[in-house]
Amino acid sequence: MVAEASLDAQRTSTEMTGSTSDDPAVQGPENTQETDDRQQDSNRSKAKHESNKTVPFYKLFSFADYWDCLLMLVGAISAVANGIVMPLMTILIGDAIDAFGGNADNKQEVVHEVSKASMKFAAIGAGAFFAAFFQVSCWVITGERQAARIRGLYLKAILRQDISFFDKETNSGEVVGRMSGDTVLIQEAMGEKVGKFIQYVACFFGGIVIAFIKGWLLSLVLLSSLPLLVLSGSIMSFAFAKMASRGQAAYSEAATLVERTIGSIRTVASFTGEKQAIAQYNQYLTKAYRVGVQEGLAGGFGFGFVRLFVYCTYGLTIWFGGKMVIEKGYTGGQVISVFFAVLTGSMSLGQASPSLAAFAAGQAAAFKMFETIKRQPDIDAYDSSGQQLDDISGDIELREVCFSYPSRPDEQIFNRFSISISSGTTAALVGQSGSGKSTVISLIERFYDPNAGEVLIDGINLREFQLKWIRQKIGLVSQEPVLFTCSIKENIAYGKERATDEEIRAAAALANASNFIDKFPHGFDTMVGEHGTQLSGGQKQRISIARAILKDPRILLLDEATSALDAESERVVQETLDRIMINRTTVIVAHRLSTIRNADVIAVIHQGKVIEKGTHADLTKDPDGAFSQLVRLQEIKRESEQHDANYLSRPENLVDSKRQPSQRYSFPQSLSRGSSGRGSSSQNSFRISNAMPTTQDHFETSEGGSGAFPSAASDKPKEISILRIAYLNKPEIPLLLLGTLAAAVTGAILPTVGLLLSHMINTFFEPADELRKDSKFWALIFVALSVGAFIFLPLRSYFFSVAGCKLIKRIRLMCFEKIIHMEISWFDKAENSSGALGARLSTDAASIRTLVGDALGLLVQDIATVVTALKLYEEASQVANDAVGNIRTVAAFCAEEKVMKLYHTKCAGPIQTGIRQGLVSGTGFGLSLFFLFSVYACSFYAGAKLVEKGKTSISDVFRVFFSLSMAAIAMSQSGFMTPAASKAESSAASVFAILDQKSIIDTSDDSGMTLEQVKGDIEFHHVTFKYPTRPHVPVFKDLSLTIHAGETVALVGESGSGKSTVISLLQRFYDPDSGQITLDGTEIQKLKLKWFRQQMGLVSQEPVLFNDTIRANIAYGKGGDATEAEIIAAAELANAHKFISSLQQGYDTLVGERGIQLSGGQKQRVAIARAIVKSPKILLLDEATSALDAESERVVQDALDRVRVDRTTIVVAHRLSTIKDADLIAVVKNGAIAEKGKHDTLLNKGGAYDSLVALHITAASS
């Protein structure tokens, strides 16, 4: 065997010549790019196919419980009763007309008959109140309940899925988008719109039945237009369904981009990538905009057809009704009753069309969610079957295992791989990047099942155990700790159900975490922030170790568990791990060989096979063995770090707690690829809120941390005027004017119909000749009105749809722009987590969509102000986001039930609010109908009295009545929006709450100075600073530091000392509370922010790449405008060109979401190239080479040494080898610079730096 460098060279050679199945672990994702492309094409085809799929309507109610069924039954009965009310009214109208027309000479009889009809009107109004109340209340409440249940079941289904599902099927942006956006559509489809649809259908059949009772022959003639009405409604419903699916697909893409961008906001800010993100978001919104316009136009034509048929039916009624009066002895009242019965019935059928459109949208939205809910995974976290023993001893064996990741079935990782680990022993797995070390741990945890062969525990196949039980026997401590958005106590408690406070404190003490926890003002109740961002890396790691200790597992899996700790903490925690490893089977995935010296067995894995196995002593006896050469390479690194004869030992761990995690490519970052050569990671693709680590040291303070963030719910939203939303439509004023004109015309048609009807009624009481002539005239007038409605309704719908869709696009884009330009401290607040913001953008924009388009037309046409919204599930969205983003940790700790309980708790408030809104809406709708019928009763009675006294004519009474009737029909269209309008304020206020935010540090602000030439002199002058979320915890008390142009300055210090805070302040992620930071003598607050950040290049320890090509990721460093030559030159400097060129697609290789298709080292080299292409005057290196193997680190360090020439460089350091040649080393301690100087000077001084080095010697020698 050859050394690790030679192994890497062989791997590169294999990559260039093509891999075979004999070298499974080293094929790398790069060699399956063609497979990637085919897979992506397949996924796109699948997505396109799925976008046209819907579920049957009845299946929307699959998750209703007993109370929901009862509510739906009461709601349906009430809707039927409410629907029959209007047809019953037509009988009373006919009676009143006959009373007026048949008793023209007996005015007292007129008053008597009309009084009876008026009393009946009042009685029907009272009945309508109760029917309307129960109809709306029951359907709104059951819709709210069922939608909440679907959200919960969807999250539960997501949590039960096997890890391969996350590799191939979904991402967190899609999950949050569906839970917050698609459930709105589903709720509309099975909530109050169902009640409206039943009401309209009941009204239709009620009208037809009454029409046949009153005059069957006339009714048959009038119903001749019914097939055309049904046909037009069906076509419109089909068109709506198809377009709704396409629109949801576009918004799903946009939601994913939002999650990814907000989750990587520090990278975006550092590279001034806001403009690129906004442009990409705009592309997705443009797609959705086009679909929305098409949807509006289709709806306009659909409604136009309905009005065309209805008004033609009016004309037919008048002409044929006159014929019936002459030939069949019909009375005028009888004809009017039939006419109004058919009118209300046919209009109701037309009004049912919007409900059909909502059903279609809900059915389309439900397809993917219900498919996921029904999906039965191969490895089911909720499966209660399988063996449960009293206990296990911990014997582990992988026997003849063949394995390839489900997302890459053609790329074999293991081919007949075998390894045996005896109970109670410690086995260490070592090897190069991508050899398959972490895949072993993934198989032991049963995140995946092997394709062939067996994974055995105590001689029993892992498949035969109950999954939850066996996972409870396994403890996992990973390199990059995953914490949830809750308190420290709750995070530790994930390790054990019903853990007591004493047990939690004992576990924290064992993990050396109690000291820093007790210093926080809120102690164990301190909130850790999203993904633990309120803590340093070392603090997070110690909490995750405490979580594993609390579990008291029989099998312990350690994946570089102490890599993020400072020297002293590492020593203490390693001692703790050594103690808890006693009598436990322990598997260690190791990078630093010093941590595995005492392992019972060490297995060297290469190309998916164990090539050497034995104790440390045995393996080092063979000088040509693979392990010996790995040791020799690390010894070379150690020797390079020796500068003083007194310190002839490798200082492996400088104390910055945030620096080490990417030293090996851990499987928490790689759900599907294990030890990074495979690279792909659902975890990584789900950890959408992981910010750049270099900015997180502000939470590393060893004291403070209340975590008591202001709650979004505590701020009552301001009332938002619809005029403010309308003002945003200012660019579309010409379209709005045209739409208003068309709406005015269509709005004028209804009162015109009422006016014509009042004149027409007298016709039925005229002599036969005049009746025959006048009925033809009025019939032609109605035909003309129908043509006008058919022309102007589509025009109205089109103009308002264009204006409305542009408004929604503009609101989404403005909100996204506002969010992306907010200062970093804004994102530190709990209510501004990526999950919450993603939900707000999805839900609020979807809600406001119902305000525009046709609703804007109805605003003009019906003089109604309508806003539709839904109370946001922000906190619940964050719980879902956490759980999905950290799915591996949820699975490893069997925490699915705990997550579901927390989610339901967060949902309880919004559900109660929704129920209250349903009751309010039902009351409002019922009262509106009661008052309407009361007005009818009063109109007829007052009219009869006035006729009796000779103060008005019968014709005038009818004119008033029909004007009121037509106005009522028009207002009913907007009146039915009352349930939605009662929810409107929170959604509109939520949107403007974002738009009204004022960023303290705004990259969109073009004001400020720019310097003609940047030299790179930097000075921190008496800087004090506290993080906004922790105002009582000082980070810097009086920090002063001068960095001369072209110098390399290294920052060292203990965990939590604030090293990365220096970089955060320099990049203006935050501003100091007092003091000044200057560039070339100019205070940085006076410089143009975007220009200023472009002068700096950041290379951080945990690289964040975007789901694009390698070329695009490197070009991102220069705003996407880098030339091919610049990209290649940067890649060559970063030692990346060689491996990129070996990829099948070269620089066009897609890196996957957050770079999951590349190994950790490859990602880091691309990130370095991204910074280099920027040609920065100031270089910020945050342990930039920590993720590289020995040979790559040497080459990249050489490259960094070259690019540092003539640049001011600040290095946040972990290893002495990276800083010994620095022009200045500054020790950060107690909020200030404790001492500074060159390496030799500080060693001889015997101060803080000397103490740090001594700690590392102790740690290394141990």
10-residue averages of pLDDT along the chain (1262 residues):
36 34 34 39 44 77 89 93 87 75 62 79 86 88 85 77 66 61 79 88 90 86 74 69 68 74 75 79 84 80 79 81 82 80 76 79 83 78 80 88 78 84 89 76 85 89 85 78 78 82 88 84 81 71 83 83 62 72 84 76 85 86 82 62 38 35 30 33 31 33 33 43 69 81 77 71 75 83 86 85 81 83 75 68 60 48 31 39 46 47 54 65 73 75 74 69 61 48 55 77 81 89 85 85 89 79 87 90 88 84 78 84 87 84 84 71 83 86 65 68 81 72 86 86 81 69 54
CA 235 to the chain's CA centroid: 34
- Whether 240 and 290 share a structural domain: yes
Q: Yes or no: say if 1135 and 1192 are a contact pair by the CB < 8 Å rule.
A: yes
Reported in sequence order, the residue ranges of 489-584 that DSSP labels E, i.e. its strands, are 555-559
Residue 694 lies in a domain: no
Q: Are 780 and 927 found together in one domain?
A: yes
CA dist 635 to 560, 566, 639, 648, Å? 19, 21, 6, 11
Q: What whole-number distance in Å separates Cα of residue 260 and Cα of residue 603?
A: 38
In a domain, 491, yes or no: no
1045 in the same domain as 961: no
CA distance 1128 to 1141: 10
1036 domain-assigned: yes
Pairing mode, if any, of strands 412-421 and 396-404?
A: antiparallel
Is residue 1048 domain-shared with residue 971, that is, in the same domain? Answer: no
Give the phi and the psi of residue 1226 in degrees, each rounded to 5: -115, 125
CB 549 within 8 A of CB 580: yes
- Do 241 and 324 sit in the same domain of this protein? yes
Q: Are 292 and 801 within 8 A, CB to CB?
A: yes
Q: Are strands 609-614 and 601-606 parallel, antiparallel or unpaired?
A: antiparallel
Do 213 and 111 lie in one domain? The reply is: yes
Query: Are 1033 and 919 within one domain?
Result: no
Amino acid residing at 616? H
Domain shared by 988 and 885, yes or no:
yes
CATH number of the domain that 189 lies in? 1.20.1560.10
Residue closest to 417 by CA, chosen among 678, 606, 658: 606
Q: What is the token pair recorded at 808? A: 């929604």
Question: How many angstroms separate the CA atoms of 79 and 344, rounded?
Answer: 15
* Domain boundary pick from 964, 995, 1026: 995
Residues 721/992, Cβ–Cβ less than 8 Å: no
Q: What residue spans of 643-719 are helical by DSSP H?
A: 682-686
Q: What share of the chain is helix, strand, coil (3-state, %, to 5)?
A: 65, 10, 25
Selection from 807, 840, 846 nearest residue 980 by Cα? 846
Phi, psi of 734 (to 5 degrees): -60, -45
CA distance 631 to 642: 17
540 lies in some domain: no
AA identity, residue 576: T
User: Does residue 113 lie within any of the structural domains?
Assistant: yes
pLDDT of residue 72: 93
Residue 1258: what pLDDT? 65
| Residue 341 covered by a domain | yes
pLDDT of residue 220: 84
792 Cα distance to chain centroid: 40
Q: Identify the DSSP state of 1262.
A: -
pLDDT of residue 106: 63
Tell me: do 949 and 1028 sit in the same domain: no
| Domain, as residue range, for 279 | 57-377+716-995
pLDDT of residue 865: 22
Question: Cα 48 from chain centroid?
Answer: 21
285 assigned to some structural domain: yes
What's the pLDDT at 95? 75
Q: What tokens does 371 get?
A: 């498919």
- What CATH number corresponds to the domain at position 1222? 3.40.50.300
| Contact yes or no for 1060/695 (Cβ under 8 A) | yes
Considering the domain architecture, whether residues 991 and 1047 belong to the same structural domain is answered as no
1079 occurs within a structural domain: yes
What is the structure's pLDDT at 1077?
92
For the chain, how many structural domains are there in total? 2
The token pair at 631 is: 């040791």
CB 890 within 8 A of CB 914: no
**810, 906: one domain:** yes
Do residues 724 and 829 share a domain?
yes
